A and B are shown apart, each in its own frame.
Chain A
């Protein structure tokens, strides 16, 4: 049952919210031991919240558009009095004294949090294997990764633990796991969703967005969490999107560009597997058949995205993660001086990937290297913005694969960081320029696992993106066969 059907059943009194929650908690109980989607299941609080929704319905109050819908929250978003760990030992047991804005908003919409989901430590990774609390497995094939870093949130929806979840996307951390788990995953325009209460990784790249099985559910959740927030200086001052009303408008007359550099074209990024490229081309054909005009376009600097990202994101992360020093919260490893205590705490508290990125970012910002690396990367962002702007003068949206391959086996890419990083090659450009992008399932690969294709648009083009995503979803082969 979709989130929207559940909400309307609860709103009408046809189903009790407590009943809905119990049903989902039972599924979590039965299978999360194997999947490890959750760092924490908040069963009691969820039942309490559901009972309150039922009471609201009974007393004739509006319980909100997502009334009684179970939702899983990535464990890098603050929840009052509920442990928020970023899947890191350094924050184990930390209970924030405040809620992230998105958490307040989903609760205000009537959704019920069922737990905090696993992630790559501090959202650094593409497989959810970098968690201090063990990897999450892909519910579609438990020998495979769910993608990352929001692997727990993706797995929770794919395993029907909750119809909706929230992830965060710094370089593809919503879209790539959505692709791997056969879900719809959306990274909104930078500034469209408040970051207040999201534990920062790369502040100029991070954005929270929804996971769901369908485009319509995704649109409904983004409507609920979007809109201006005075607590976030980078929040765009405009009302929340109206997305659900545009879903049935189709793509007739829309111009869609296949982005050559990220879709297996000549001179583009390497390493895209043939089945993924084939599904992307089929998606293009399907959009054309639905009335869109499809052309091939070029954004040459898109090939530089990976390099720019792996300088900008670690640089910001190295500074964002300085505060984990053992003084105010979280882990402390005692030592005889404060300086030694800080070093001992950070050394024991951070996992290897986090340390690697802190090291890389510290280096990129340090005296003598700033101009060669970080400074150059910022100029690449400018080039990309300019090139995307001229492409969007020609087309409404762009189409690319979401990830180079389908979900890979657990342990397959952990030895060499670069082989893991290239997973983000198609998703990174949208983060660097702050544009919205959605991953929609479109068929399966040679291994029978889902393939995701990605629609990219200019800043604040969410309505257009959802419109096209709905058309793509309708045209997707074998819809529903995987879930």
Chain B
């Protein structure tokens, strides 16, 4: 097996478009009143409609349509009058042997998604469709082609999906990953999906091709399926792009096909070529009538739209001078509202954000309020708490100790910053006890001096059980060495 380099030679450029399927978090399925949830007990969330029993008919879920339009608007799409269509193909997990989807008249079209670094990726469409059931392959190690038989569960059949199709605007693996993260953040912000890639409520297929750098042609693309995480998306795209480059440089060309990403093997494999050659015989679904959202409905959706991640990042960026990654993380975790409140309550913005990024990476931080966080930061900046103590107090605030009150927590631990003369006495004693280290600190080269500063700081922290203020220590050591 060839070992591929992680990046493309510079004479080749990556061209990627992503197709993301998102399960909508409605209570019921798209066309029937069966519950839309995951169940380990097969075929218990079914009815005549989602099992495709003869005579059953679909009726559209208004919430699914609303969620789809909300997603469309969050992606800057125009909302159009739309119709459902039938995509005809035979497969046992597709209960009617056609998928009800949108074809030439999708609900959402022509949007864009701005990545955190400002790159804009075009959205071609975001259309409504139904999910299929699930097949399990029995025997032959569970692999489809070696199985002795398969089992079909229709619990997932008819779950509402939106498929978001990007334009082939993505040029780097990082941007592909950033696109998926950004999209997930938006989905969470507008509360239309739980967007969990690992659980399949968000599924990403990548259309990958390459072209000579500087050209604007679109070469043969391959569609990669079975990508289960953002990390695996990056690996899959890198692998596939290298495969294309290798083919072109050896005088061959890739075939347009669907390929499966094998995460364990770190490679993509061709699917069997389809006999039906994509002849899906689309036509308008006669059992459903068109969707024609009114201007008032669209205005209502726009009015109820929360502030989206890009705007939330900008909001924090204007108020602070921390690195972009800090803001990205805080917004991603949905802690930007907390941060903003603390900043507006008067706490130092940079300190608030770095403290949250470093010390509030927990699932449940609901006990921390903007007010209590602002108080904590002010205690820290006011010298009442050292950095180490502040970190510990925040942890206990999140755990809900002492009603989340930072003052009560600090008091319970007896935390109070040391007076500076106490600290000075301690430093003087240490200089006496460690003369060699001291002279290396004062006279050594930069590296050695730094090392010794670390030594002394460590000793002081040890002696004070972390209660000394790190900055005050550094300041004191500096004064002593200069003096």
Q: Which residues of A contact B (CB under 8 A)?
A: 77-78, 84, 86, 91, 94, 96-98, 100, 195-200, 202-204, 230-234, 315-316, 318-319, 322-325, 327-329, 338-339, 342, 362, 365-367, 370, 374
21 examples of A-B residue contacts, CB within 8 angstroms: A78-B55, A98-B48, A98-B55, A98-B56, A196-B55, A197-B56, A199-B54, A200-B287, A203-B287, A232-B59, A233-B58, A233-B288, A319-B88, A322-B90, A322-B98, A325-B92, A325-B97, A365-B281, A365-B283, A367-B281, A374-B283
The answer to the question of B86 belonging to the interface, with a C-beta cut-off of 8 Å to chain A, is yes
Partner of B55, one of A200, A204, A233, A374: A200
Give the chain B neighbours of A325 by CB distance below 8 A: 90, 92, 97
Chain B 42-80 interface residues, beta-carbon cutoff 8 Å to A: 48, 51-60
Query: How many Å lie between the Cα of A450 and that of B56 in the bound state?
Result: 37
Answer yes or no: B289 CB below 8 A from chain A CBs: yes
Determine the distance from Cα of A245 to Cα of B150 in the docked complex, in whole angstroms.
Answer: 59
B92 contacts A233, C-beta separation under 8 Å: no
Q: Which residue of B lies closest to A230 (CB)?
A: B59
Q: What are the residues of chain B within 8 A of A77 when measuring CB–CB? A: 55
B34 to chain A, nearest CB (A): 14
Chain B residue with minimal CB distance to A77? B55
The distance in angstroms between the C-alpha atoms of A69 and B334, with both chains bound, is 66
B286 in complex: contacting residue of A204, A230, A324, A329, CB < 8 Å: A204
* Closest 6 pairs between A and B when the two form their complex, measured CB to CB: A322-B97, A365-B281, A203-B286, A204-B286, A199-B54, A197-B55
A76 to B143 CA separation, bound complex (whole angstroms)? 40
Query: What is the CB-to-nearest-CB distance from A373 to chain B, in angstroms, rounded to a whole number?
Result: 11
CB neighbours of B92 from chain A (8 A): 325, 327, 338
List, in ascending order, chain B residues with CB within 8 A of A327's CB: 92, 152
Residues of B within 8 A of A231 (CB): 57, 59
Tell me if B281 and A97 are in contact (CB < 8 A).
no
Assess the A319–B54 pair: CB atoms within 8 A. Answer: no
Rounded to whole angstroms, the CA-CA distance of A318 and B279 in the bound complex is 14
Partner of A329, one of B53, B150, B282: B53
Task: Identify 16 new A-B residue pairs, CB closer than 8 A, beyond the known A96-B54, A200-B54, A325-B92.
Answer: A84-B54, A96-B55, A97-B48, A98-B56, A199-B55, A316-B283, A318-B88, A319-B98, A319-B281, A323-B52, A323-B54, A328-B52, A338-B92, A338-B150, A339-B90, A374-B283
Q: For the complex, what is the distance from the CA of A465 to the CA of B287, rounded to whole Å? A: 27
Neighbouring A residues of B349 by C-beta, 8 Å: none
Q: How far is the CA of A200 from the CA of B86 in the complex (A)?
A: 15
Task: Please give the distance in Å from B212's CB to the nearest CB on chain A.
Answer: 32
**Interface SS of chain A: helix, strand, loop or mixed?**
loop
Query: Which residues of chain B have C-beta atoms less than 8 A from A195's C-beta?
Result: 57
Q: Evaluate whether A366 and B54 lie within 8 angstroms (CB atoms) in the complex, with A97-B48, A231-B59 already known.
A: no
Q: Are B88 and A365 in contact (CB under 8 A)?
A: yes
Majority SS of interface residues in chain B?
loop
What separation, in Å, do the CA atoms of A421 and B279 have in the docked complex? 28
| CA gap between A60 and B6 in the complex, in Å | 85
B243 at the interface (CB under 8 A from A): no
* B95:A323 contact, CB within 8 angstroms: yes
A232 to B, closest residue via Cβ: B57
B55 touches A316 (CB 8 A): no
A315 and B88 alpha carbons, distance in the complex (Å): 11
The interface centre, meaning the residue of B60, B90, B95, B98 with most chain A CB atoms within 10 A of its CB, is B90
CA A323 – CA B286 in complex, angstroms?
A: 16
Interfacial chain A residues near B279, Cβ < 8 Å: 366-367
What B residues does A339 contact at CB under 8 A?
90
A282 CB to nearest chain B CB (Å): 38
Q: How far is the CA of A94 from the CA of B59 in the complex (A)?
A: 24
In the complex, B96 has a CB within 8 A of chain A = yes
Distance between Cα atoms of A204 and B289 in the complex (Å):
11
Min distance, Cβ B30 to any Cβ of chain A, angstroms: 12
Q: How far is the CA of A338 from the CA of B92 in the complex (A)?
A: 8
- Distance from B375 Cβ to chain A, minimum over Cβ atoms (Å): 55
Q: A97 vs B55: C-alpha distance in the bound complex, in angstroms?
A: 11
Contact of A319 among B53, B60, B283 (CB under 8 A): B283
Distance to closest chain B CB from A463 (angstroms): 25
Given contacts A322-B90, A374-B283, whether A328 and B59 have CB atoms under 8 Å apart is no
B51 near A328 with CB under 8 A, answer yes
Q: In the assembled complex, which residues on chain B have CB atoms less than 8 Å from the CB atom of A86?
A: 54
Is A362 within 8 A of B57, CB to CB?
A: no
User: Using Cβ atoms and an 8 Å threshold, which residues of chain A touch B97?
Assistant: 322-323, 325
Complex partner residue of A233 from B59, B152, B282, CB under 8 angstroms: B59
Taking CB as reference atom, which chain A residue is nearest B93?
A: A327
- Nearest B residue to A78, CB-CB: B55
- Report the Cα distance A328→B249, complex, angstroms: 50
Contact of A91 among B54, B57, B59, B98 (CB under 8 A): B54
Given known A-B contacts A198-B55, A325-B97, A233 and B90 have beta carbons under 8 A apart: no
Please, which residue of chain A has its CB at the minimum distance from the CB of B52? Answer: A323
Report Cα–Cα, A204/B95, bound state, in Å: 21
Select from chain B the residue with minimum beta-carbon distance to A91: B54
Do residues B88 and A233 form an inter-chain contact, with CB atoms below 8 A?
A: no
- Complex: A459 Cα to B48 Cα, angstroms: 30
Residues of B within 8 A of A198 (CB): 55
CA distance A67 to B65 in the complex (A): 43
A367→B279 CA distance, assembly (Å)? 6
| B76-107, CB < 8 A from A | 86, 88, 90, 92, 95-98
Give min CB distance, A349 to chain B, whole Å. 13
CA distance A77 to B60 in the complex (A): 23
